[in-house]
Structure 1
């Protein structure tokens, strides 16, 4: 008998062909384990050798600057709100002192007390507006990290309105001829320009449009 005879029961068994991947499964290159059908290859985790480094995106520098400016503006608005409330309290004390002299028509302090009441009410309204704007500035600055298009549009509108107010103050300061009356509005306009431009430039637009998981 010959060992090459396929009918020989004592001969060497015939070699089997190498296994081929099943239908629908892509063949993996040598040394790489095949991936299951329908399961994409998972990226490596950070910190493991050979894995893909999944680093979080960083906020553009102009947006970081705008965020700092928003926090600085909120601090000024808070101080202004406190100052206006203090002025309202003083005006209210003046009104109470005028009323203590009586409410007769011959009291010379009646008109003065009425004006103090009006001033106190106006100062309270201005203080509430300043504190509300401070809360908005802080909210926008905080939301820069995870906000979307709503935060972006609100920041642009807020910065543009602040720039208009700063320009009005700048023109008033220039008309007065006082250098000290120009410095603060000029700084305010510069801050407003950065806050308005930061979400509009391509890097800022891409930041607010980035995918979030």
Structure 2
């Protein structure tokens, strides 16, 4: 009996093993077969990389409020504080006009009484407007965390009106408001501010 006999079932096989495995090699038991070359395989025991978070160049937008937006938010609170302080001074002026109106030596002066009535009414109206305008600034600043294109546009309009009012008619006491309002407009209108307010909100789970 010869090992070279092709009719011998126990002899050495010629040209390959049963099952079509060339070269006499069979896949080992317990080990995965190798994937074809060029096909990426996920490593065992290693999770896939997390998705890239949205940034300035991604649809999600920035995840952290930019420095300019934070600064404009603080400036809005400062404007609101100045509005309250200004309203207090205007109220004191209105009270002074009312006290002068009740002065016995001036009660018979018709022109002064008319001027006092007009001035007192205007001063009280200015005081109320100052308080409401300051409250509006606080509301805008409080919503900066949520963002939104509408909020950005409203803030810019608020800054423009505040800057104009600071120039006329309150040029003496409103110059600081004008400077702060211009800074708010610049910070909110910048590209990073636009990316923050126009970012797409991610769903919370």
TM-score (normalizing by structure 1): 0.61
Counterpart position of 1:91: 97
Q: Any stretches of 5+ residues in structure 2 without a counterpart?
A: 1-8, 10-27, 34-39, 52-61
Does residue 120 of structure 1 match 2:133? no
Assess if the C-alpha contact under 8 Å between 1:69 and 1:195 holds in 2. Answer: yes
Counterpart-to-counterpart distance in 2, 1:73 and 1:138: 9
1:29 to 42, 61, 72: 42
List runs of 5+ in structure 1 lacking aligned partners. 3-14, 21-26, 35-40, 45-55, 102-106, 173-180
Larger radius of gyration: 2
How many residues align structurally? 164
In structure 2, what is the Cα distance between the partners aligned to 1:62 and 1:167? 24
Deviations 1:104-157 (A, max 9, x none): xxx733443332222211111000111111011111111111131121001111
- 1:105-116 counterparts in 2 under 5 A? 108-116=108-116
Q: 1:30 to 1:198 in 2, by over 3 A?
A: closer
Give the RMSD, CA atoms, in angstroms: 3.8
More helix by share: 1
The aligned counterpart of 2:199 is 210
Which of 1 and 2 has higher RCO (CA within 8 Å, sep 6+)? Answer: 2
Encode CA deviations 1:3-48: one digit per residue, 9 max, x unaligned: xxxxxxxxxxxx999899xxxxxx96341489xxxxxx7959xxxx
